[in-house]
A and B are shown apart, each in its own frame.
Chain A
Amino acid sequence: MTAMGSLRIAVFVLGQAGLASAALALERPAEPPADPLKSPAWGTIYGRYFKDQKVVFDDRVKVIAPANAENPLDVPVQVSADGLDGVEEMVVVADLNPIQKIVSYEPLRALPSLAFRFKVEQSTPIRAAARTHDGVWHLGGVWLSAAGGGCTTPSYASGDAVWQTRLNEVSGRLWPSADAKTQRLRLRLIHPMDTGLANGIPAFYIDRILLSDAKGEALARVHSYEPISENPVFSFDLKGSGPVRVSGGDIQGNKFSAEIKP
């Protein structure tokens, strides 16, 4: 009886909260700006990631991806905001994926550009949002056509035990740029990156990567999510030169750490 009673109260309170927020929304309707990609999910994406924040569509934020996803488990994407100053965070989302957020990137001492591969469930817009220090999100994006099924397909690793001995193995190399002001880091990690959406296989993915220099100063930070491809490959453009320390871990507490030397 008491349990029932408190449940009712909880429902009542929730109901009140719902009404309150609805009233707020009526007072100050947060209409999302018109979406140049005309995505059916733009309203949801806006509400989930950009609500009450300043959003502009900006040609300087570029998303480069193939027109068609030849392999829905491994779609290459490069996002960049080269013309923008003071980019503090970049977020990449696929509107029509069951899990929309792919990655968030903090280019602390790096160029605002990142390349990676991800799993796609169906044809979808891919958006990059770059937040400048004034708090404004600058958005760019493209449509990707896909046969799909990438998110709900089991990883190869889930059918093969080899990964267990190689989990979190790090491969990589540094390429200095022609003017030696930056260096390209390409990184590959061994990880199943299970989304949790394939039947009977729980989510299991790398959720953080930190890049730092020889003195331990942070260069860039990645927060990765379920849609990143199995055995992920990333490309970064880091400022300066010299060895790069890579560290991070997955959602089950497994960690990795490696040094990539020039």
Chain B
Amino acid sequence: MKRCSLSAALLAVLALPAFTVQAYDYQLKPQAIADGVQVLVGRTENFSRENGGNIVNTGFIIGRDGVIVIDTGPSKAYGEQQRATIAKLSKLPVVQIYLTHAHPDHVLGNQAYAGVPIAALPGTTRALTINGDALLSNLYRLAGDAMLGTELRLPTVEAKSGEVSIAGRRLRLIPGLGHTDADLMVFDEATQTLFTGDLVFFQRTLTTPNADIPHWLATLDAIDAIDFKVMVPGHGPVLRDHAGIAQTRDYLKWLRDSLQGAARRGLDMPEVLQLAIPERFQRLAVLHTEYERSVAHLYPAYELETLPTVPKSRPQ
């Protein structure tokens, strides 16, 4: 009797891992936004254990004889569930991945697509080679268990500017910069859908860890001139107008002017953190957290512009 209960207990213990190690369920719900074009819209939040890092928009285009994926999400589990979502909608194979830029929430689902060409701009591959492991470990810290088993997989193909025809679909690959030093946009000619990556944020405060504001503003002007009908921003709801471009530009210009002005008044960073943010930005998600991060990213350069170097004199 005793032996029996012992072996039952042993069995229960052995069986436990099968129950406990369950992949985080992202509950991905595809949203059809144009003919053959689907988007998985993420939350307008920051990375957390609750959202498993799903704060990002990814998408896919179902072509004549294959599926094209734009960004693979924050984790291995996300990539796998993204692929499963695609499989429910189409029997066609995934034939091509495009990564918009080198931030973890856009690229860490790559593991789910072994054997599929993963294309990115050379700057994206370079940045992931240098910083990928640090980005990965930071996301483990922020998103926790959802990251289980996630490893970095670098792009395998270089994305080149211009038109390509894949799976019977004509795409225009448009390089930009400013959010990072290599931001790829993907434009689907048939439906005039533009995937902007993080060059456009809508209703969620933009992020600046690798930003260059003058370059970013110039790229936004170029996006304004693209003949899109539908726009998928990197974060926030899908758009059918230029409101996302305008909002991104407005916030960037305010950020630039506000930080530059503060530096010229002699403020130090903790004082800059406490400056008032205009009313029109208050509805943007995660405003204060992202503003705080942007001050850390951008203020040191503005502040240096205001501190002239004293010619060296002989030390006493």
A208 within 8 A of B: no
Instruction: Please indicate which of the listed interface residues A76, A117, A171 has the most CB atoms of chain B within 10 Å of its own CB.
Output: A76
Given A66-B296, A67-B292, A70-B293 in contact, is the A175-B265 Cβ separation under 8 Å? yes
Give the chain B neighbours of A172 by CB distance below 8 A.
307-308, 310
Query: Which of these, B209, B296, B309, contacts A76 with CB under 8 Å?
Result: B296
Give the chain B neighbours of A259 by CB distance below 8 A.
310, 313
Given A77-B270, A78-B271, A170-B309 in contact, is the A186-B293 Cβ separation under 8 Å? no
B164 within 8 A of A: no
Given A171-B307, A173-B306 in contact, is the A255-B315 Cβ separation under 8 Å? yes
Query: Which of these, A70, A78, A147, A184, contacts B292 with CB under 8 Å?
Result: A70
B266 within 8 A of A: yes
B211 within 8 A of A: no
Give the chain A neighbours of B303 by CB distance below 8 A.
186, 233
A-B contact count (CB 8 A): 92
Residue in chain B with minimal CB distance to A67: B292
Interface size on A, residues (CB 8 A): 34
A258 within 8 A of B: yes
Give the chain A neighbours of B297 by CB distance below 8 A.
70-71
Nearest CB on A from B164, distance (A): 37
Interface contact A258-B307, CB-CB below 8 Å: no
Give the chain B neighbours of A188 by CB distance below 8 A.
304, 307
Interface contact B268-A235, CB-CB below 8 Å: yes
A64 within 8 A of B: yes
- Contact residue range for chain B? 20 to 34
- In angstroms, Cα B292 to Cα A173, docked, is 25
- In angstroms, Cα B309 to Cα A187, docked, is 10
Which residues of chain B in 258-298 are interfacial with respect to chain A, using CB atoms and an 8 Å cutoff?
265-266, 268-271, 273-274, 289, 292-293, 295-297
Interface contact A147-B310, CB-CB below 8 Å: no
Interface contact B273-A64, CB-CB below 8 Å: yes
- In angstroms, Cα B209 to Cα A175, docked, is 30
Give the chain B neighbours of A198 by CB distance below 8 A.
none
Interface contact A171-B270, CB-CB below 8 Å: no
Instruction: Please indicate which of the listed interface residues B270, B306, B316 has the most CB atoms of chain A within 10 Å of its own CB.
Output: B270
Given A74-B300, A173-B306, A255-B315 in contact, is the A64-B266 Cβ separation under 8 Å? no
B141 within 8 A of A: yes
Nearest CB on B from A102, distance (A): 14
A257 within 8 A of B: yes
A68 within 8 A of B: yes
Nearest CB on A from B55, distance (A): 16
Residue in chain A with minimal CB distance to B142: A147
Interface contact B316-A247, CB-CB below 8 Å: yes
Which residues of chain B in 214-228 are interfacial with respect to chain A, using CB atoms and an 8 Å cutoff?
none
Nearest CB on B from A49, distance (A): 23
What 0/1 readout, one digit per residue, does chain A (233-262) give for beta carbons within 8 Å of chain B? 101000000000001010000011111100
- In angstroms, Cα B306 to Cα A68, docked, is 26
Interface contact A147-B141, CB-CB below 8 Å: yes
12 extra interface residue pairs, beta carbon distance < 8 Å, beyond A115-B269, A188-B307, A247-B315: A64-B271, A68-B293, A71-B296, A76-B270, A171-B304, A172-B308, A173-B266, A173-B307, A175-B266, A184-B266, A186-B266, A258-B312
Q: List 11 A-B contacts (CB under 8 A).
A: A67-B292, A68-B289, A74-B300, A76-B296, A78-B268, A171-B309, A171-B310, A187-B307, A188-B304, A249-B315, A257-B316
Give B residues with C-beta under 8 Å from A: 138, 141, 209, 265-266, 268-271, 273-274, 289, 292-293, 295-297, 300, 303-304, 306-310, 312-316
